[in-house]
Amino acid sequence: MNKTAVILLFGLIFSLMPVDDPGGFFINLGPAQQMIESLLQQRSEQMFFCAFTLAFGLLHLILFLFSPASKGNLYYSIFLLFYTAAIFADIQSGYIARDPESIFFYLRLHRMLIPFTSIFCLRFIYAVFYDKCPRQFPAFVILMLSVWVVISLYPVEHFDVFVILNLLVQLEIVRVITVAILRKKDGAWILAAGYLLLGFFGAYDTLLDLGIMAPLNQVTNAYYFGLAGLVVAMSVYLARDFARSAQR
């Protein structure tokens, strides 16, 4: 595997984790005005994407209510609603809450929500490519619930446990989509394009974190753009499937 592929893979994996910081305290030295503008921009981006994911989540929940047979809409909407809640908790802990107790409360809430985003994202992928849920899915659920217990009790100290074990879930998602493309499953390329876009912007953030490159146009959180592309790709796939079902 060449270096570009490795960077894209790690970018994809870490972009799928709705985490902006590992908790704790940091000291960032720099021009005060520039730092304030950067924080305000990051908060605005998070608030916009929070509303963005909420809107798509509610839309696909409504589509499921109109067509209960389309389980993909249900799992996708639950995935987005958990993701929205995780972003909201992250905004509260990082920008809104002031006293230590409130900050820690929202940090813990954020940690408690994100394992469910992985569970329902995987369940959505299974729903669109398999007629029956694969036998390995319960194992992933047990894995994520075990992680949920650990990071609920120790949201800062042992969050790396989630980061490591979540790699297995994300690699499974990549595997399922890759197999679907190789088997020429209808519409698989749409989801692949969304994940590739996410991997591209995730790779950009990874290169920034490693200090290999400087931000382009002061964009330091590009994974939002990639995640927006993934959300749109998933929605296009489901809307396409919904339209075909309505014509039958």
Length of the chain: 248
| Chain segment 157-209, per-residue pLDDT in tens | 888 888 888 889 989 998 999 999 999 888 889 988 888 888 788 777 777 76
CB 78 within 8 A of CB 125: no
The CA angle 117-122-124, to the nearest 5 degrees, is 95
- Give all domains of the chain, ordered by start, each with its CATH number: 34-247 (1.20.1070)
Q: Rounded to an integer, what distance in angstroms lies between the CA atom of residue 8 and that of residue 207?
A: 10
Q: Which two tokens stand for residue 132?
A: 């029956």
pTM of the model: 0.78
More confident residue, 94 or 143: 143
17 pLDDT exceeds 90? no
Residue 31: the pLDDT is 57
The CA angle 95-24-222, to the nearest 5 degrees, is 55
